[in-house]
Amino acid sequence: MTISATPVVAAFDLDGTLSNGGSVFKWLRYVGGERATLGASFRLAGPLFVGALRSGTWADRAKERLFQRILAGRDSHEVTDISRSFALAHFEAHGRPFVLERLEWHLRQGHDVVIVSASPQIYVEVVAGEFGAAGGLGTRLAVDPQGKLTGSYLGKNCRGEEKMRRLSEWIDARHYDQAPQVYAYGNSRGDRALLRSANHPRNVGRLGRLGSLGRFPRLKNGAKGRSVTAGE
């Protein structure tokens, strides 16, 4: 293992970056059941459609309303257990091998890996633990004094500027001797702020000039890609 003199943090988005496609709706179906989830989605079809088009606070609010309909009143410990089973099965089936190889490359270099996602932290932490990451940051869910989920966020949806803020907060809490070099991997407009704040942004979707998966170094264990300097 090569340990960098300057600390390095590698921040990975989850849905569409480490995995193919989204996980949130699948998670809701897993936790709340097919019928309840489809019914809630149908009743909120208008807000969800507008949120998908306009993004930002429109999307945040629509997602929270969907959570409230499906999750409110459920025991938080029970949902945590169910979510662990979901996360393990989902990423076994939908993980993106080449991006996961890149995560493992960072770990082999002694870098601090953190997953930063708009998906619920209740299973982002599970995925982070499975991949050997130092942290998992996601959208936190509010719990009432009786230990029941309210369906509302605890804080903000972890996307856009909030994703960047949460990563900065996580880095500050680690008290590095010097500012780390930050690699960031994302695929959507919700990742733009995170990528723009990084020293080494890597676009694994269609975000234009921020870098692409094809620029990754060729990994020693055989993953495919264009060969460039590994210490880039």
Secondary structure class of 152 (helix, strand, coil): strand
* Backbone Cα Rg of the chain: 18
- Asked, for residue 225, whether it belongs to a domain, the answer is no
Residue 228 lies in a domain: no
- The domain total for the chain is 1
> Domain for residue 96, yes or no?
yes
pLDDT in the model for residue 228: 25
Pairwise CA distance, residues 85 & 224, whole Å: 30
Q: Which residues of the chain fall short of a pLDDT of 50? A: 1-2, 4, 207-210, 213-232
Burial of 192 from C-beta contacts in 10 A (0-12 / 13-18 / 19+): buried
pLDDT of 222 reads: 36
The structure's pTM equals: 0.83
Instruction: Indicate whether 21 belongs to any domain.
Output: yes
Residue 229 falls inside a structural domain: no
Is residue 141, in this structure, part of any structural domain at all? Answer: yes
Q: Is 222 a domain residue?
A: no
Give pLDDT, residue 62. 86
Domain with 103, as residue range(s), is: 8-215
CATH assignment at residue 95 = 3.40.50.1000
How much is the pLDDT for 53?
65
Q: Residue 223 falls within a domain, yes or no?
A: no
